[in-house]
Amino acid sequence: MEHSKEQQARAMPPGDVDHYLRDLKLACIAQHYGELATQAAGKQWSHGEDLARLLEGEAHLRRDRATHTRIRQARFPVIKTLEQFRWDWPTQINRLQVQHHLGLGFLKDRTTLIYLGGVGLGKPQPRNYPCRSQRRTGAHHHRP
């Protein structure tokens, strides 16, 4: 016998955290709240600190999912990562400087970054990577 969602919700006790987390689609919190509650008790975190960490994890998960969805919907023929970048060509590229720029610190400083060089030197490639770097660092870039 099938029950409607409303009937199932009424059958659950009001304190059933797992039910509410599923209903609100808070997957990360549902997965980690018990473990984090134990850790918070051991380290004597306030309820606010505990909640902030859970919400931070949920926000990161949603941002990652949104990024993956956008990449899939864009139907890129190839998805390039920084790990795939050929640092041996061009031979004079300053790897440390490029990696520093991919940390997106220039966005916080509200400055512009321009790569200059001849044809065939791989200039378009580094500019494709900030989205992934941005996701890791939590920086946000909003186009005007």
This prediction's pTM: 0.55
pLDDT tens digit sequence for 13-26:
546 888 899 999 99
The tokens for 105 are 């610190």
**DSSP readout, 35-100?**
HHHHHHHHHT--HHHHHHHHHHHHHHHHHHHHHHHHHHHHT-SS---GGG--TTSSTT--HHHHHH
Q: What is the rounded distance in angstroms from the CA atom of residue 32 to the CA atom of residue 53?
A: 10
What average pLDDT does this structure show over 63-79?
92
pLDDT at 74 over 60: yes
pLDDT band at 1 (very low <50, low <70, confident <90, very high): very low
Q: What is the rounded distance in angstroms from the CA atom of residue 121 to the CA atom of residue 32?
A: 45
What average pLDDT does this structure show over 33-51?
91
Residue 133's nearest CA partner among 91, 112, 95, 105 is: 105
What average pLDDT does this structure show over 105-132?
71
pLDDT at 6 over 70: no
* Residue 125 burial (C-beta neighbours within 10 Å; 0-12, 13-18, 19+): middle
Task: Look up tokens 């004079």; give the residue.
Answer: 92
Q: Is 106 helix (H, G, I), strand (E, B) or coil?
A: helix
pLDDT at 43 over 60: yes
